């Protein structure tokens, strides 16, 4: 692709995201995107084939931008409580930037548009990958390391975060209370990390006893179950 073609494609991706934020998906069309991007609307079909394919590409493009924006901050987090504090700050930033509204509209549109469903899933997967790496790093120093599944927790956290963001639109106080509850769990996990070796071994023993009956696929790969 030529430099000018690449520049036009980028304009269309950014234009699609801006149109979604400013006008909503109901008013997002080839014409509105082209106007926002400052290009001829025929270029949408030349570069992407359809408006839906452009929106799908813009969804992944936008997620890549947002994840890149926070990657360095995620790498500096030293505890689960810091992770929750970061999540709250990011939540406020994303809502102010209009990204929460866009995500909600893409999730709704994805129910009937396969291309948008796949793209929204791919965008969320970028967040999940980053969160899994952080959780793996933070949990390793706690008694939960042998029992927690960072990949599963990352997906649960992403799903919860999406739900809380959408829930906030109808019940801000309830969404705030949900975040408070998550923060309490993070404080509990952090307290476990700060216990001495004997206390940590006692907790680990208890966890092994109570998780012995779990199906194998509910425990982290390779953790197994030790004997008493």
Residues 47 and 8 sit within 8 Å (Cβ to Cβ): yes
Tokens 């270029």 belong to 43
Whether 56 shows a pLDDT value over 80: the answer reads yes
pLDDT of residue 57: 95
User: Of 207 and 122, which is predicted with more confidence?
Assistant: 122
pLDDT tens, 82-134?
A: 888 888 888 888 888 888 778 888 888 888 999 899 999 999 999 999 999 99
pLDDT, average across residues 164-183: 80
Residues 6 or more apart whose CB falls under 8 angstroms from that of 190 comprise 79, 80, 81
Q: What pTM value is reported for the model? A: 0.74
pLDDT tens, 121-170?
A: 999 999 999 999 999 998 887 766 677 788 998 998 888 877 877 787 78
DSSP-derived letter for residue 144 is G
Residues 6 or more apart whose CB falls under 8 angstroms from that of 147 comprise 207, 208, 211, 219, 220, 223
DSSP-derived letter for residue 221 is T
pLDDT of residue 223: 43
DSSP-derived letter for residue 148 is -
pLDDT of residue 192: 61
């Amino acid at each position: 692709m030529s430099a000018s073609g690449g520049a036009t494609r980028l304009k269309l991706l950014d234009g699609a995201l801006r149109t979604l934020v400013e006008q909503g998906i109901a008013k997002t069309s080839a014409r509105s995107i082209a106007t926002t991007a400052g290009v001829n609307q025929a270029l949408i079909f030349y570069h992407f084939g359809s408006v839906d394919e452009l929106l799908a590409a813009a969804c992944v493009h936008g997620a890549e931008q947002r994840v890149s924006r926070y990657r360095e901050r995620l790498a500096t987090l030293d505890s689960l409580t810091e992770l929750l504090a970061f999540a709250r700050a990011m939540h406020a930033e994303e809502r102010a930037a209009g990204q929460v509204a866009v995500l909600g509209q893409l999730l709704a549109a994805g129910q009937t548009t396969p291309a948008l469903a796949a793209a929204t899933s791919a965008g969320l997967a970028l967040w999940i990958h980053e969160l899994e790496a952080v959780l793996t790093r933070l949990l390793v120093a706690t008694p939960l390391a042998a029992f927690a599944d960072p990949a599963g927790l990352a997906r649960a956290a992403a799903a919860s975060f999406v739900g809380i963001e959408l829930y906030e639109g109808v019940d801000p106080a309830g969404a705030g209370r949900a975040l408070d509850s998550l923060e309490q769990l993070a404080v509990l996990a952090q307290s476990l990390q700060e216990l001495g070796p004997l206390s940590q071994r006692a907790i680990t023993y208890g966890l092994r006893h109570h998780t012995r009956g779990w199906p194998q696929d509910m425990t982290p790969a390779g953790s197994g179950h030790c004997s008493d």
